[in-house]
Amino acid sequence: MKALFVMSLVVLLFNLVFASCQSKKTNDEKVVVMTQNSKYQNEIKALIEELDSKGIKDKRVIAAIETVPRHAFVSERLKSRAYENSPLPIDKDQTISQPYTVAFQTDLLKLQNGDKVLEIGTGSGYQAAILCEMGMDVYSIERHLLLHDKAKLLLDSLGYKAHLFYGDGYRGLPDQAPFDKILITAAIGEVPSQLLEQMKIGGLLVAPIGDDYSQEMTVIERLAADEFRRTKHGTFVFVPMIKGLGE
């Protein structure tokens, strides 16, 4: 009996040490990437000042933009431009949105602590990282398997625990609904009814609505089961949102 107790104690201690090592490995990986921000501190400072001058006042959004290492979400040849306030190309002819656009859309969501947020279009994973950094419960769907897989690896390595899905953004995630907030990160002609139905009463959806060349940033608030209110917040240009799965 005593031998069994000792053996159980040894196994328990081993598991605790192993778990600690696993956690440390994740934290170490995150620290390495995060501390690289100091290499770009002048560029980050200039970006934050530009966002402030453009009217982004939510300190939580500014803090997240300042903290999340945008250079980790772009290719090696573009790292020197990572903190420019401009979109940059990623795989599958997609882009990582300019920081101002990310900050503006995030601000429009009027996030509350712990909000359950659905993002349509994971892309590089940068927007999901911003939402995670702000303490949101993030669900994100991507139609390109390559982008989904790369974003998952990167977010995991940075310690951001978003729920990522490979699928058709037009369908959303009905099995995970309802959501407090929904964010669409690609140009769409009209928001599908199934996405509106996945919002909680009182929830908000932010989307660039228009044609492939110009869209109006629109906030849709769900007032009741079949009642919605829309407000428009300026013109933007996004890559188009496409139905179905990518290659």
Report the run of H or E that residue 96 belongs to, with start and end: strand 95-96
Q: What pLDDT, in 10s, does the model give residues 151-201?
A: 999 999 999 999 999 999 999 999 999 999 999 999 999 999 999 999 999
How many CA atoms lie less than 13 Å away from 2 in the CB half-sphere?
0
Active site residues: 97
The residue type of 68 is V
pTM given for the model: 0.85
3 state DSSP class of 216: strand
Q: Around Cβ 74, how many Cβ atoms within 10 Å? A: 18
Q: What pLDDT, in 10s, does the model give residues 92-141?
A: 999 999 999 999 999 999 999 999 999 999 999 999 999 999 999 999 99
